[in-house]
Structures are given as structure tokens and as C-alpha cells.
């Protein structure tokens, strides 16, 4: 596996609980850094860290300060070069991608990546404002379109192309809530039924309350190292074997399709071209399910389901923990929560635990290869990472 020999190792990973948290953003950052440093089996010293990457949208205005410097302080190495990475909801995945390339280039041997967001201490009106900055502000927001409305348009078009959609959306919600109930760090640790989904209030037709991810607080962090150094830190590293990125038009009106995200397709193609395995070799995936329709689109754009066939895979149970391709064993954004800057990093935390056989009651049996998929805004940007044991 020649390409795999150039891969980067994940040697530590941890996250805070997601949900409505009393802590400030700096406190969430501090707690997460401590957890991720202590997660390294053989220990790690501040001097080992070559660079830090802080992923955050700066929800509510926190980005107006020099937030990245706090990462160096909390890591115990104030002189460490740090940078803040902001790429809407894909900030976390993008920060990991930046660290990955820094290590691959030889510039850095070990990197710390932390994503953090504090979202629940704003009014609903202010939350809508800050969520809206990730989408098109010239046309969509001025017309009153919310993110739920954006994804509802995608869902309605998908139903026109492929038939009734609500049963599949319910299956996604039920499955991800079942997984979240097994995750002690999830925002929602509550099992729901299809009847619960179908009777929940409409938010933007056809999306209901249980089709929408929550507003969450939380932080997640990982430590990446050059492959040759991994044994210094752990005997059970997880390898980040490839990374891909892609973008598309910001506004829906300018895109070629409402039911396929070009950014995801481009990111997946780049990652698979650079990896030693194919989509059929992926054994489980953490995908960006900010709304249930987003999980269906992701499976198809990633090549994990045929076009128009993702709903059938959900209804058949293929994507549940006992299925042929478990999707979002963490509970996904839908149940684990969606603190914007932390989301893409927390996907990698889940994969790290799964591939080390340390995921407890939500463990995917025998998992050796995994995919993480992180989307920004309504699909204008995307990052895909591939992992192996």
C-alpha cells in the first residue's frame, strides 16, 4: 500500500459533551484541549506540538478576538504557531485538512486541531442571523430563506425526481436518534419512533422538527502526527490516508442541481483518487446530516448509494449499526449535535474511537475503513477524509 505509507496518523482524540452547555467558548476550548492531550496513550508534551489549528465560525462574534492564540496557551505552548480556520459548517473538516497537508509537506511533524462553538446563549433571532452568514446573503437571505428552507427545497426537488420521501427521512431520524442514545456525548440521547417523527411540527415542508439538527455548544479535538512518529504516542494509531476538498456556487440558483452537491462529489473524487481503497471498501461513514435529506444526498454524492437509491438503503436498515454500511454511528449532527466549528472534528473523534474498537455500545464490528464528510453552509464547500486502522 504505497500511498498509505505517506498517510498521517491520528494519535489522540476527544470531545466535550455536546448540548446546551453553561461554559463559555474559551472554557469549552480549555476543557477539550485537556481531554485530547490526555487521550494520547503514551503521553505527549507541549514541545511535541508543531502547530495548532482552531476551527470556529465565531458564532455570535467570538471571532473578533485572537481566538487562535488561546489554543496555544491552553496546549501549554504559547509560542506554538496557530491559525483560526473558518469555512462555515465545514470549518472542522477544513482545519483537519490544513493540518494534514502541513504534515504531509514536512513542515510540521505533530499538529493539534480543535473545533469549538458556543451557540445557545444568543436569542433565536441572533442565531438565525449567524447561521445565515454561511449562505447566500445577496438573494436567499434577503428573500427570507432560512437553512431549513434551503434544504426543504432540495427535499421537494428530490421527491419530484425519485418519489415519496417522508418514510426515508423518518428512517434517517429514527436511526440517528437510536445511535445518539448510545453516545454519552450526544446532545440528544433519546430514542424516537417513525410516529414521533411524522407527528412533529413542520418546520419547512417537507422537513419536520425531527428532520433538523439542533443548535449546540461543544468542542472536539484531535492530534495528528507524521506516520513514522505515531509509535512514540500510541500502539494503536488510526491513519488518515487521504483528504479531498471541493466547492460550488454559494447560491442555489446558480448550481447545476438541487439534489446533488458538486462540492461533495469533487471532494470525494479527490480523496478516493489519492487513497488505496474505493467507495465499496468503506465500512462505515460519518456524514453531514444537518437535515435528514442531507444524509441521503451525501450517500449518493459520495458514491455509497446509487442516485435515487439512498432512501431505500435507509428503509432497508443497511445504514443502521447492524447493516451493511452503518452511517453516523455517533448519532450524526441530527442527534449528536451541531456546534458548527466542532462538527467536522467530532466526526474524526468518532472514527478514531470506532477504528480502535473503543466505541462501546455503538461499536461497528470489525471496522477497518471509514469516511468522514463535512459540508459548509448549504453545500457550497465540502471536505472528505478517508481513514484506516
- Which of 197, 288, 338, 373 is catalytic? The answer is 338
Bridge partners (DSSP) listed for residue 117: 218
Bridge partners (DSSP) listed for residue 388: 239, 369
Task: Quickly name the fold that domain 3-122+214-388 has.
Answer: Peroxisomal Thiolase; Chain A, domain 1 (3.40.47)
The pLDDT value recorded for residue 66 is 64
The pLDDT value recorded for residue 46 is 97
The pLDDT value recorded for residue 63 is 56
The pLDDT value recorded for residue 352 is 98
Catalytic (active site) residue 338: yes
- pLDDT tens sequence for the chain (389 residues): 334 446 799 999 999 999 999 999 999 999 999 999 999 999 999 999 999 999 998 876 665 456 789 999 999 999 999 999 999 999 999 999 999 999 999 999 999 999 999 999 877 766 666 666 666 777 777 777 888 999 999 999 999 999 999 999 999 999 999 999 999 999 999 999 999 999 999 999 999 999 999 999 999 999 999 999 999 999 999 999 999 999 999 888 899 999 999 999 999 999 999 999 999 999 999 999 999 999 999 999 999 999 999 999 999 999 999 999 999 999 999 999 999 999 999 999 999 999 999 999 999 999 999 999 999 989 999 999 999 99
- Which of 89, 162, 185, 385 is catalytic? The answer is 89
The pLDDT value recorded for residue 3 is 42
The grid cell for 374 is 463535512
Of the candidates 329, 288, 352, 300, which has an alpha carbon nearest to the alpha carbon of residue 91?
288
The domain spans of the chain are 3-122+214-388
Bridge partners (DSSP) listed for residue 370: 284, 387
Catalytic (active site) residue 290: no
The pLDDT value recorded for residue 5 is 40
The CA distances from residue 3 to 110, 242, 326, in Å, are: 20, 9, 26
Amino acid at each position: 500500500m504505497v500511498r498509505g505509507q505517506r498517510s498521517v496518523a491520528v494519535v489522540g482524540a476527544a470531545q466535550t459533551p455536546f448540548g446546551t452547555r453553561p461554559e463559555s467558548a474559551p472554557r469549552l476550548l480549555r476543557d477539550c484541549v485537556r481531554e485530547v492531550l490526555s487521550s494520547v496513550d503514551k503521553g505527549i508534551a507541549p514541545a511535541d506540538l508543531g502547530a495548532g489549528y482552531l476551527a470556529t465560525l465565531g458564532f455570535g462574534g467570538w471571532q473578533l478576538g485572537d481566538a487562535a492564540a488561546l489554543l496555544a496557551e491552553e496546549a501549554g505552548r504559547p509560542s506554538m504557531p496557530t491559525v483560526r480556520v473558518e469555512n462555515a459548517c465545514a470549518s472542522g473538516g477544513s482545519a483537519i485538512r490544513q493540518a494534514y497537508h502541513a504534515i504531509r509537506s514536512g513542515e510540521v511533524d505533530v499538529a493539534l486541531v480543535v473545533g469549538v462553538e458556543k451557540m445557545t446563549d444568543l436569542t433565536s433571532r441572533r442565531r438565525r442571523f449567524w447561521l445565515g452568514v454561511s449562505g447566500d446573503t445577496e438573494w436567499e437571505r434577503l428573500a427570507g430563506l432560512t437553512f431549513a428552507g434551503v434544504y426543504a427545497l432540495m427535499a421537494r426537488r428530490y421527491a419530484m425526481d425519485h418519489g415519496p420521501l417522508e418514510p426515508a427521512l423518518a428512517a434517517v431520524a429514527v436511526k440517528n436518534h437510536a445511535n445518539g442514545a448510545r453516545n454519552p456525548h450526544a446532545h440528544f440521547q433519546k430514542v424516537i419512533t417513525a410516529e414521533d417523527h411524522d407527528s412533529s411540527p413542520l418546520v419547512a415542508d417537507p422537513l419536520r422538527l425531527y428532520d433538523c439538527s439542533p443548535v449546540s455548544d461543544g468542542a472536539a479535538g484531535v492530534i495528528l502526527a507524521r506516520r513514522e512518529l505515531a509509535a512514540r504516542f500510541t500502539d494503536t494509531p488510526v491513519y488518515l490516508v487521504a483528504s479531498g476538498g471541493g466547492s460550488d456556487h454559494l447560491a442555489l440558483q446558480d448550481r447545476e442541481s438541487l439534489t446533488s452537491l458538486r462540492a461533495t462529489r469533487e471532494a470525494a473524487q479527490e480523496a478516493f483518487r489519492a487513497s488505496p481503497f474505493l467507495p465499496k471498501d468503506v465500512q462505515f461513514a460519518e456524514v453531514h446530516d444537518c437535515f435528514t435529506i442531507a444524509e441521503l444526498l451525501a450517500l449518493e454524492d459520495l458514491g455509497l448509494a446509487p442516485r435515487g437509491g439512498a432512501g431505500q438503503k435507509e428503509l432497508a436498515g443497511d445504514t443502521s449499526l447492524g447493516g451493511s454500511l452503518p452511517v453516523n454511528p455517533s448519532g450524526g449532527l441530527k442527534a449528536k449535535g451541531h456546534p458548527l466549528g466542532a462538527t467536522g472534528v467530532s466526526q474524526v473523534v468518532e472514527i478514531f474511537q470506532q477504528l480502535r474498537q473503543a466505541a462501546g455500545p455503538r461499536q461497528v464490528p470489525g471496522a477497518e475503513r471509514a469516511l468522514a464528510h463535512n459540508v459548509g453552509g448549504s453545500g457550497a464547500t465540502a471536505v472528505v477524509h478517508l481513514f484506516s486502522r
